[in-house]
């Protein structure tokens, strides 16, 4: 086997399909490889690969609103919600061998890796891609620290009811969403800040989600549920009886994984992390799917080039070369530096009292497009990220600047 992918989420499926398309023999192992994906995935439409944007979209909002304190900022950039079933089918490949099982550990050597499953089976491959998400099963496991986590609780309502949440007199059913509405829930003005996220998820159906962007420790889901219902009640919206909740919880500030060193002759081999396991979650939004979909073909090309003539044959390839090439694409020095800046921005936000968070986002939402999009982009442009952060600092009042300074200088926990 050339490549073994651990994890069947969007990131795992994306890299497995890309490796298959590049001519590699691929297996994918997951406790339930045919299980659907329960969460709502979204991205700016122009950030999605062309094939995904053509085949796997559930809805597209023509404009998104962003509200920090009072004034809605209108962004006329199409925002897409993915159809999970269509995306799964788009990424499925008949020649990717699916293995049902739970990975526990792996052994690595100069010629490849052996992955151990909980039931005693072993799977051998030249390269292992760890796409196991925040669990990081083969990339060092969960860090020994309390992470900052994003948590959210959402319900889906009829679009005719959601119009009250779209602001600016938007007509019910219009192709409009709300990226973030930081206005406080009645009675929660001094509590940890949360925002409302509103997106159409199907014809005539809209997701309303109360979100804690990041908090250490995480804001409990029960607290978010109460806050969501309070917000809906204040807007005259009643959640449908028996509505299925969307529940979200994941870390946003995990440290980047480290390459494993085998020795002076084989400096890098073994596991290549990908997706959330590789630290690809955007610290300021929690987004990662668009980044995984965009980067997967490049990772596959790097792995295929490193394995070289061994593809599909019986000869030994060069896992160290393949892994080195993939790692260089995942986190080049400029991307590491840019990611570090984004983490500093996150630490600054974590240091702010609730009303300062809303004031900061009022500043951020009003930035020129090039700064806003550079900071939110799935790929990290160091100069663009630096310029965006500098623009936000200079536009912010001194009451916010002090937190941007002191919070950014706080060491990462």
The helix or strand, by DSSP H or E, that contains position 298, with its residue range, turns out to be: helix 289-307
- Output the pLDDT for position 171: 45
In this prediction, residues 244-265 reach a mean pLDDT of 78
In this prediction, residues 139-155 reach a mean pLDDT of 93
Distance of alpha carbon 384 from alpha carbon 112, whole angstroms: 39
Greatest CA span in the chain, whole angstroms? 67
- Output the pLDDT for position 314: 43
- Output the pLDDT for position 269: 57
Q: Which of 135-144, 236-245, 288-297 is most confident? A: 288-297
Handedness of CA 168, 170, 175, 176 (dihedral sign): positive
332 phi, psi to nearest 5 deg: -65, 165
Distance of alpha carbon 404 from alpha carbon 394, whole angstroms: 11
Nearest alpha-carbon partner for 378 in 308, 313, 310, 291? 291
For residues 323 and 142, the answer to whether their CB atoms sit within 8 Å is no
Task: Select the more confidently predicted residue: 216 or 406.
Answer: 216
The overall average pLDDT reported for the chain is 90
Of 42-46, 167-171, 201-205, which range is least confident?
167-171
Q: Is the peptide bond before 217 cis (omega within 30 degrees of 0)?
A: yes
What is the percent of the chain with per-residue pLDDT over 90, rounded to a whole number? Answer: 77
State yes or no: pLDDT of 313 exceeds 80.
no
- 256-266: string of b/e by CB count within 10 Å (b at 16+)? bbebbeeeeeb
State yes or no: pLDDT of 309 exceeds 90.
no
In this prediction, residues 321-346 reach a mean pLDDT of 92
Distance of alpha carbon 126 from alpha carbon 12, whole angstroms: 17
Q: Which of 67-76, 252-261, 318-327 is most confident? A: 67-76
- Output the pLDDT for position 174: 52
In this prediction, residues 315-324 reach a mean pLDDT of 75
pTM, 2 dp = 0.91
For residues 338 and 45, the answer to whether their CB atoms sit within 8 Å is no
225 phi, psi to nearest 5 deg: -60, -45
In this prediction, residues 91-115 reach a mean pLDDT of 93
- Output the pLDDT for position 110: 80
**Beta-strand runs (E) in 182-317:** 195-202, 205-215, 246-251, 271-273
Distance of alpha carbon 209 from alpha carbon 105, whole angstroms: 36
Per-residue pLDDT reduced to its tens digit, 215-251:
999 999 999 999 999 999 999 998 888 888 999 999 9
- Output the pLDDT for position 30: 98
State yes or no: pLDDT of 319 exceeds 80.
yes
Q: How many CB atoms lie within 10 A of CB 107?
A: 12
Residue 167 — very low, low, confident or very high, per pLDDT cuts 50/70/90? low
- Output the pLDDT for position 268: 46
Handedness of CA 79, 85, 86, 91 (dihedral sign): positive
Per-residue pLDDT reduced to its tens digit, 74-101:
999 999 999 999 999 999 999 999 999 9
- Output the pLDDT for position 348: 93
In this prediction, residues 62-85 reach a mean pLDDT of 94
In this prediction, residues 337-363 reach a mean pLDDT of 94
3-state secondary structure 45-96: HHHCCHHHHHHCEEEEECEEEEECCCCEEEECCCEEEECHHHHHHHHCCCCE
- Output the pLDDT for position 155: 96
State yes or no: pLDDT of 168 exceeds 90.
no
Provide the residue count of the chain.
Answer: 413
DSSP 3-state of 296: helix
Nearest alpha-carbon partner for 138 in 303, 295, 278, 16? 278
Distance of alpha carbon 9 from alpha carbon 29, whole angstroms: 11
Residue 368 — very low, low, confident or very high, per pLDDT cuts 50/70/90? very high
Of 12-26, 121-135, 163-177, which range is least confident?
163-177
In this prediction, residues 136-146 reach a mean pLDDT of 91
Task: Select the more confidently predicted residue: 264 or 286.
Answer: 286
């Amino acid at each position: 086997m050339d490549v073994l992918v651990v994890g069947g989420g969007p990131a795992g499926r994306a890299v497995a399909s890309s490796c298959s398309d590049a001519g590699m023999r691929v297996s994918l192992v997951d406790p339930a490889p045919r299980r659907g994906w329960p969460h709502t995935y979204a991205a700016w439409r122009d950030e999605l690969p062309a094939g995904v944007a053509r085949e796997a979209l559930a809805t597209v909002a023509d404009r998104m609103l962003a509200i920090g304190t009072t004034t809605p900022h209108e962004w006329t950039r199409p925002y897409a919600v993915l159809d999970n079933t269509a995306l799964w089918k788009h990424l499925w490949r008949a020649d990717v061998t699916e293995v049902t099982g739970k990975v526990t550990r792996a052994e690595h050597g100069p010629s490849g890796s052996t992955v151990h499953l909980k039931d005693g089976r072993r799977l051998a491959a030249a390269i292992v891609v760890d796409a196991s998400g925040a669990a990081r099963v083969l990339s060092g496991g969960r860090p020994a620290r309390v992470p900052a986590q994003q948590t959210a609780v959402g319900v889906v309502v009829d679009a005719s009811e959601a119009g009250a949440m779209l602001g600016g007199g938007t007509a019910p059913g219009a192709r409009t969403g709300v990226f973030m509405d930081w206005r406080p829930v009645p009675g929660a003005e001094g509590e940890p800040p949360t925002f409302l996220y509103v997106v159409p998820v199907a014809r005539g159906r809209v997701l309303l989600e109360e979100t804690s962007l990041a908090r250490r420790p995480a804001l409990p889901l029960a607290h978010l549920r109460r806050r969501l219902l309070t917000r809906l009640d204040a807007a005259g919206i009643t959640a449908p009886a028996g509505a299925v909740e969307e529940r979200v919880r994941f870390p946003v500030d995990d440290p980047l994984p480290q390459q494993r060193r085998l020795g002076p002759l084989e400096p890098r081999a073994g596991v290549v992390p990908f997706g959330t396991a590789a630290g690809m979650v955007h610290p300021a939004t929690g987004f990662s799917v668009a980044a995984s979909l965009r980067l997967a073909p490049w990772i596959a090309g790097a792995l295929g080039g490193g394995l070289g003539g061994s593809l599909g044959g019986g000869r030994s390839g060069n896992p160290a070369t393949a892994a080195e090439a993939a790692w260089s694409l995942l986190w080049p020095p400029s991307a590491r530096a840019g990611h570090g800046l984004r983490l500093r921005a996150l630490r600054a936000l974590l240091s702010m009292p609730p009303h300062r968070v809303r004031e900061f986002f009022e500043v951020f939402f009003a930035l020129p497009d090039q700064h806003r999009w550079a900071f939110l982009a799935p790929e990290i442009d160091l100069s663009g990220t630096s310029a965006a952060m500098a623009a936000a600092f200079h536009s912010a009042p001194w009451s916010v600047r002090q937190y941007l300074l002191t919070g950014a200088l706080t060491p990462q926990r």
